[in-house]
């Protein structure tokens, strides 16, 4: 797997951590496995990270930073909420599809690993929940709908994505963009508007250009 931005030794180690976690699981991953996957000596790992837990947290930070970058490329403040959810969903799913090892590490291994990695996962999930719940305030007809509707929609979308990863279909996650967008927007936008936004194609062509 190629690095996301640079070919620095640190990034190769983070990619090695993701690949090792995806193959062995975090608990069974050793520093030696990470170094072998990254093609570096243990001394290089020790110069950059305090241990396996620190390295996993850094890999999560890398994943979240890249997700934010992808979302920022398709978002602007004046964009309607449902369209922003649609485009952000497509951007994140495209990233996960491109980086299967990072996807499995971020969404399956990190949450159960504890420590800073689990905290970062929770922070990312909270940011997604906050954005989905904005639909309650920005959609006039939805203001009487409970915020729990958005949380339930996000939980369902997350379960779908994790299920695809566990089934070995990470590279096909982009095909789920329409369905996930619909799941996230329908509680507040309503069925007609959610379907209309999910079916718009212009944003998806743009995403391929900036990915």
Q: Number of structural domains, the chain? A: 1
Q: Is there a domain that residue 165 lies in?
A: yes
Q: Is there a domain that residue 163 lies in?
A: yes
Residue among 86, 90, 88, 94 at smallest CA distance from 197? 86
Where helices occur in the chain by DSSP H, the ranges are 9-24, 31-38, 42-48, 52-72, 81-98, 100-104, 110-113, 115-138, 148-166, 177-189, 191-198, 202-210
Token pair for residue 126?
């909270």
Q: Is there a domain that residue 46 lies in?
A: no
Q: Is there a domain that residue 21 lies in?
A: no
Q: What band does 7 get if pLDDT is binned at 50, 70 and 90? A: low
Q: What band does 140 get if pLDDT is binned at 50, 70 and 90? A: low
Q: Is there a domain that residue 99 lies in?
A: yes
Q: Is there a domain that residue 192 lies in?
A: yes
Range of the domain at 132: 52-210
pLDDT digits (tens, 9 = 90+) for 25-72: 999 999 999 999 999 999 999 999 999 999 999 999 999 999 999 999
* CATH, residue 161: 1.10.357
- The answer to whether the beta carbons of residues 159 and 147 sit under 8 Å apart is no
Q: Is there a domain that residue 27 lies in?
A: no
Q: Is there a domain that residue 3 lies in?
A: no
pLDDT digits (tens, 9 = 90+) for 159-208: 999 999 999 999 999 999 999 999 999 998 888 888 888 888 544 444 44
State the Cα–Cα distance between residues 204 and 63, nearest whole angstrom: 21
Report the interhelical angle of 81-98 vs 115-138 (nearest 10°): 150
């Amino acid at each position: 797997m190629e690095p996301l931005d640079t070919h620095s030794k640190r990034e190769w180690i983070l990619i090695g951590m993701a690949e090792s976690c995806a193959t062995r699981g975090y608990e069974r991953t050793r520093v030696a496995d990470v170094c072998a996957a990254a093609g570096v000596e243990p001394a290089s790992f020790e110069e950059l990270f305090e241990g396996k837990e620190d390295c996993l947290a850094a890999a999560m930070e890398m994943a979240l930073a890249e997700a934010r970058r992808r979302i920022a490329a398709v978002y602007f403040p004046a964009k309607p909420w449902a369209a922003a959810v649609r485009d952000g969903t497509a951007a994140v799913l495209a990233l996960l599809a491109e980086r299967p090892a990072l996807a499995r590490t971020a969404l399956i291994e990190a949450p159960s690993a504890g420590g800073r990695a689990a905290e970062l996962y929770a922070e990312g999930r909270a940011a997604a929940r906050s954005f989905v719940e904005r639909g309650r305030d920005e959609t006039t007809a939805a203001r009487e709908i409970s915020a729990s509707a958005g949380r339930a929609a996000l939980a369902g979308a997350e379960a779908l994505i994790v299920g695809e990863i566990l089934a070995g279909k990470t590279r096909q996650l982009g095909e789920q963009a329409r369905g996930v967008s619909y799941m996230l927007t329908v509680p507040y936008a309503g069925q007609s508007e959610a379907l209309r936004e999910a079916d718009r194609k212009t944003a998806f062509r743009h995403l391929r250009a900036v990915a």
